[in-house]
Structure 1
Amino acid sequence: MNLKIMGGMLLIAGTALGAGMLAIPMVLAQFGVLWGSILMFGIWVGTTYAALLLLEATIRSGGGIGMNTIAQKTLGKQGQLVTNGLLYCLVICLMIAYIVSAGDIVQQLLSRIGLTLSLWQCQVIFTLGIGAFIAQGTATVDKLNRVLFSAMLITLVLTLVYLLPNIELGNFDQQSNTDKVDLIKNSAVLFTSFGFMVVVPSVVKYNSEATHKQLRNMVIFGSMLPLFCYLLWLVAVVGNLPPEQLVSFASVSDLISMLSAQYANLGIVLSLFTGLAIVTSFLGVAMSLFDQNRDLFNTNKLTTFVLSFVLPLLGAILAQDKFIGVLAYAGIILVFLAIFVPMAMVIRVRSASFEQSEGALYQVAGGKAALSACFVFGGFLLFSQLI
């Protein structure tokens, strides 16, 4: 596997890891590890297939720097407007969630070295600092993401070294909530935890010389990494803290503080781990928004930077303590953007009237039956928010 393909895989994994890593124990612990893991696996299967549909549409339409171009090529002007509207709503919601949580963690880290800043100041520092790297382009983001993702895996291993040997097996059997309807209601938050689709056009453009098989494997293995990490994290956290305690936490700092109180020196490792998870996720999501704005408005980097980061930053400053809530809203938007829009794109590119990009014949396995199952999956996710 060449470095650019590996970089694309890590960008996909890093985009998904972040919000989900922090939210999953708080929303699933009450239902028990078994049922939470089953739901998570099912949602992973559906989201990965939908991402492969977007990959097919990207390849067969000739690609583009963002979803704006792909939507225009496959769905026309009206489809382009709908796709852009959904994308902006989704990415801004995700960025707000990441900035809210990142500001909290930056504030904690600075306080450890004796610096006291307000939460909004920490949010500004985080957003402008990471935004400066994103403005340099995908190659720079890829290199930074490789370093950060590797560091995140190291801190995850260190965290598991603390937590796994001290697991209380009795915690896995505890269920403070046995209502499966309530479990289903959390599907949107889990779906958002695998919300890497927005970065697919960017990594395909970045790996323009790759084969279709390499791109397919990049998406599949890139999505498997978050699944593996989420399951390990869920087991480790639930094994150390009872479900009724986890569901009472309002923020990431509550979770970190409770685990830090139990294990000496774990606090700094957890802060670094959660911070790195958020940064890698923020990198992918913000890069997709930056590329989308550059594709849509065709303006200079400074203007694109302002368009990409000012609104999410303002939203984060106003949305304190709304981390889980913002993820739920993002999950509803993501259903349309990541399930139904790629389905519509694929139906169009598979039609006889669509002019295929030269040498770009690629089709996801499964045919009409898999498309129908994907539609049912999208309906299930919407239903989970209406019940």
Structure 2
Amino acid sequence: MYQKEHFGRLIKGALLIAGTSIGGGMLALPVEMALGGFVPSIFIYFLTWWLMASTGLLLLEVSIWFKGEANLVTMAEKTLGTFGKVAAWALYLFLFYMLTLAYVTGCGGLLRSAFPELVSEAMAPFAFVFFFGPFVFAGARLVSRLNLFMMAGLFFFYFLFVWLGASQIQPALLTRMDWRLSLIGLPVAFTAFAYQGIVPTIAHYFKYEPRPARFAILIGSGLPFFAYVVWQALIMGIIPVDGAGGLHEAMLKGQNAVVPLKNFLHDGRIYVVGQFFSFFALITSFFGVAIGLQDFLADGLKVKKTAKGRFFLCLAIFIPPLLVTLYDPNMFLIALSLAGGVGCALLLGLLPVLMVFSGRYRLGIKGPYQFFGGKPLLIALAVFVVVELLLQIVAQLGLTNWMSPA
């Protein structure tokens, strides 16, 4: 009985991590990785999974040091001082607002595609917030119940899409390879494999026992890797990269991976299923990010969650992204890239490395669990994140054209 219960908790913990990772970022991956090709994209996925699994295990080590502290900001303050606290705060806000912007624009685009005669491009993000913002105002209890239905829809339409779309794959489309251009998708891959924010919760769930928590992190972060590989093969095997309506054009227009499907499918059912999958992937991510930002702002600004307080928090959550959409309502890919390449890379990639390095070698903390590798591995992880950040800065500022297709 004990082993059965233990196994059940392990599966629940792993699925919680997988569910946190799989979301809207999945819709951007094939578009951002298109120019590099299928095989290079799988290598980038594996590399990103390894980094994010490693930093997740590092964060587990820190969570076990400070039992009961389910807050990255607090742990950053205890290991890195005031600078760590301020940096974590700023990165949290940047990451959550970039993700909110991405999902508001992405969901707005879906709303426009469903009702093109009723919703204009500029008003689509506002219409989405008007209809779905009240759920965020209602709070986490209603959203958590609704999210069970949304996650069921997400998995149902994912497997239905795989089943229907497998016969449409053209193997020749998967032979493209450009390792240099595959780096374009690295920032979005950071977003797609992000889950570390719930590691303190996972540690508490397993009563700070390192072994089951470690297995849950490895299994839970590994499941999205396999889901992304299958998804990548389907999208890149159906939609050509070049030419009118292809993946390169979708990238230039800031579209998600499902939009160009209608240009190349002979079975209209697959496109409809893909649209439903897009909706569930984006809406579950939207609710998770919006509720997370609401809790973070409520805690940081000391706002009580009364009706008046929740209304103020909703204004603080949605007004900044909506103002940005007035400038450009098609910022789905750009916002996800910034969220991953800057927010996830620094907050969920570099910060756990710095916390462990400071805790182990500056503060002399020794706990019951220590991630392997010592200083060399910590330095290697930090270097990887810094290199990715430099690539992101170069790409966003347009300082060079080396990442442009020939």
* TM-score clears 0.5: yes
Please report how far the alpha carbon of residue 119 of structure 1 lies from its aligned counterpart in structure 2 after TM superposition.
0.5
- Of 329, 337, 341, 1:328 maps to 337
* Between 299-308 and 223-232, the greater mean CA deviation after superposition: 299-308
- 8 Å CA contact 1:198–1:288 kept in 2: the answer is no
Q: 1:169 to 1:353 in 2, by over 3 A?
A: closer
- State the Cα distance separating 1:273 from its structure 2 match: 0.5
Equivalence for 1:247: 248
Amino acid at match of 1:315: V
Instruction: List aligned pairs for 1:340-355, cutoff 5 A.
Output: 340-351=350-361, 353=363
The 5-angstrom pairing of residues 196-345 of structure 1 reads 196-204=195-203, 207=205, 209=207, 211-244=209-242, 245-249=246-250, 250=253, 251-252=255-256, 254-258=259-263, 261-301=265-305, 302=310, 303-316=312-325, 318-330=327-339, 331-345=341-355
Structure 1 residues 202 and 129: CA distance shift in structure 2, 3 A: farther
Whether 1:377 and 2:384 are equivalent positions in the alignment is: yes
* Structure 1 stretches lacking a partner, 5+ long: none
Report Cα offsets for 1:297-355 as digits up to 9, x if no partner: 23212144443444334434544112222222221232221222111111233247467
Q: Quick check: 1:33–1:235 contact (8 Å CA) kept in 2?
A: yes
CA distance in 2, matches of 1:285, 1:105: 18
What letter corresponds to residue 248 of structure 1 in structure 2?
Answer: E
Distance (Å, rounded) in 2 between the aligned partners of 1:38 and 1:371: 21
CA contact (8 A) 2:133 2:314 kept: no
In 2 relative to 1, CA 30–351 (structure 1 residues): closer, same or farther, beyond 3 Å? Answer: closer
1:3-152, aligned counterparts within 5 Å? 6=11, 8-109=13-114, 111=115, 118-125=123-130, 127-132=132-137, 135-136=139-140, 143-152=145-154
How much identity, in percent, do the aligned residues show?
Answer: 26
Distance verdict in 2 for CA 1:102–1:83, change over 3 Å: same
Alpha-carbon shift at residue 26 of structure 1 (Å): 1.1
Instruction: Identify if the C-alpha distance between structure 1 residues 4 and 314 changes in structure 2 by more than 3 Å, giving closer, same or farther.
Output: farther
Q: Using the alignment, how far apart are the partners of 1:96 and 1:85 within structure 2?
A: 16
**Equivalent position SS for 1:124:** helix
Kindly tell me the number of residue pairs found equivalent between the two proteins. Answer: 374
The Cα of 1:12 is off from its aligned counterpart by 2.9
For 1:31 and 1:369, the matched residues in 2 are separated by: 30
Greater RCO (CA < 8 Å, at least 6 residues apart): 1
TM-score (norm 2): 0.81
Paired amino acid for 2:380: A
Give 5+ residue unaligned stretches, structure 2: 1-5, 395-399, 401-406
- Write the distance in 2 (CA, Å) between the matches of 1:213 and 1:105: 42
Q: Residue 149 of structure 1: CA displacement?
A: 2.3
Is 1:61–1:349's contact at 8 Å kept on the other side of the alignment?
Answer: no
Cα distance in 2 for partners of 1:317, 1:14 equals 31
Which string of whole-angstrom CA distances, capped at 9 and with x for unpartnered residues, describes residues 43-64 of structure 1?
Answer: 1111111122122222312343
Using the alignment, how far apart are the partners of 2:380 and 2:225 within structure 1?
Answer: 21
Deviation at 1:211, TM superposition (A): 3.0
Query: Could you tell me how far apart the structure 1 residues matched to 2:368 and 2:298 are?
Result: 28
- SS of residue matched to 1:350: helix
C-alpha displacement at 1:87, in angstroms?
1.3
- Whether the aligned pair in 2 keeps the contact of 1:103 and 1:126 (CA below 8 Å) is no
Q: Contact 2:290–2:317 (CA<8 Å) still a contact in 1?
A: yes
- What letter corresponds to residue 248 of structure 2 in structure 1? V
State the distance in 1 between where 2:206 and 2:315 align. 28
Deviation at 1:200, TM superposition (A): 3.2
Q: Per-residue CA shift, 1:113-168, capped at 9, x if unaligned?
A: x96574033321355144246x225xx65554444223211101111112111211
SS in 2 for 1:312: helix
* CA RMSD, Structure 1 to Structure 2 (Å): 2.9
Give the TM-score normalised by the residue count of structure 1: 0.85
Instruction: Work out whether residues 48 and 190 of structure 2, in 8 Å CA contact, stay in contact via their aligned partners in 1.
Output: yes
When residues 185 and 115 of structure 1 are mapped into structure 2, their CA distance, relative to the original with a 3 A threshold, is: closer
Query: Aligned partners of 1:61 and 1:51: how far apart in 2?
Result: 15
Q: Aligned in 2, Cα 1:361/1:308: closer, same or farther, shift over 3 Å? A: farther
Match of 1:170 in 2: 172
CA change 1:2–1:125 in 2 (3 A) is farther
